[in-house]
């Protein structure tokens, strides 16, 4: 069973390593959509899930290696699914606007950074917006205190 676990982990390490390599080399040029690294990560986990389904259903005899492959892919698929579910159901978000938020805008030579209660919600460098969580930040703008440095 150990051999199957190692084979599966190597598969995920290579897939996630390729995603990291693509992020380092290509970057995330189009900020409004998924980058190449996101696509590689999703394809890695979809391939692992399909590998698990094929290995579990089309094989007549379950060897120890096959059990390791199936169980590892099952654990990785469930973990990935729970992570995506967490992102969609982020428990820290509230439907009620925050009435006592402190918005801080810091402008340097070519960069504008906006903080909400110490957390970065917006970064703009020259004419490119690198990070924009303003839309997902619920704020009662009538009660916000702006501090500009």
Condensed to tens digits (0 to 9), the pLDDT of residues 71-111 reads: 999 999 999 999 988 888 875 555 555 556 677 888 888 88
The strand ranges marked E within the chain are 102-107, 111-116, 119-125, 128-132, 145-148
Question: What pTM, to 2 d.p., does this model score?
Answer: 0.62
Distance, CA of 53 to CA of 74 (rounded, Å): 9
User: Rounded distance, CA 37 to CA 131, Å?
Assistant: 17
CA distances from residue 86 to 42, 79, 83, 92, 95 in whole angstroms, order as listed: 16, 10, 5, 10, 16
Calpha distance 118→39 (Å, rounded): 31
CB-CB neighbours of 69 under 10 Å: 26
């Amino acid at each position: 069973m150990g051999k199957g676990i190692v084979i599966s982990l190597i598969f995920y390490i290579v897939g996630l390593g390729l995603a990291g390599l693509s992020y380092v080399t290509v970057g995330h040029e189009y900020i409004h959509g998924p980058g190449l690294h996101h696509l590689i990560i999703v394809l890695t986990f979809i391939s692992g899930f399909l590998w698990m389904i094929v290995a579990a259903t089309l094989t007549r005899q379950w060897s120890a290696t096959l059990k390791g492959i199936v169980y590892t892919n099952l654990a990785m698929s469930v973990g990935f699914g729970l992570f995506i579910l967490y992102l969609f159901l982020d428990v820290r978000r509230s439907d009620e606007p925050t009435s006592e938020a402190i918005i801080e805008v810091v402008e340097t030579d070519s960069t504008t950074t906006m903080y909400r209660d110490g957390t970065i919600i917006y970064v703009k460098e020259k004419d490119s917006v690198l990070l924009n969580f303003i839309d997902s930040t619920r704020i009662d703008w009538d009660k916000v205190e702006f501090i500009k440095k």
